Structure 1
Amino acid sequence: MARPLAEQDLLLLVDALATGEWQSGETLAAAAGLTRAGLAKRVGHLRDWGLNVESKFGQGYRLARPLERLDGALLQTSVPQDLRVTVAPLVDSTNRVLMEADPESDPQALLAEHQTAGRGRRGRDWHSPFGANLYLSIAWTYAMWPPHLPALSLSVGVVCARALDAAGVDGVQLKWPNDLWVGNRKLGGILIEQRGESGDLCRVVVGVGINVAMHARQGSAIDQPWTTVDEVLASCGRKPASRNRLAVDVLHGLHECLARYVVKGFEPYRAEWCALDALRGRQVYVPGQDRLRGIGRGIDDDGAFLIETDAGLRSVLSGDVSLRPA
Structure 2
Amino acid sequence: MGLLVDGTWTNKWYDTSANGGKFIRSESQFRNWITPDGTAGPSGTDGFAAESGRYHLYVSLACPWAHRTLIFRQLKGLADHVTVSVVHPDMLQDGWTFEPDDHGATGDHLFDSAFAHEIYTRADAAYSGRVTVPILWDKQKNTIVSNESAEIIRMFNSAFNTITGNTQDYWPEELHDPIARINDRIYDTLNNGVYKCGFSTTQTAYDAAVYPLFDTLEWLEGILSENRYLLGDRLTEADWRLFTTLIRFDPVYHLHFKCNRKRLIDYPNLWAYTRELYQIPGISDTVNMNHIVRHYHYSHDTINPHRITPINPLLDYWEPHGR
Give the structure-1-normalised TM-score. Answer: 0.27
Give the structure-2-normalised TM-score. Answer: 0.27
**Which one has a larger percent strand, Structure 1 or Structure 2?**
1
Q: Which has the higher contact order (CA 8 A, sep 6+)?
A: 2
**Which one has a larger percent helix, Structure 1 or Structure 2?**
2
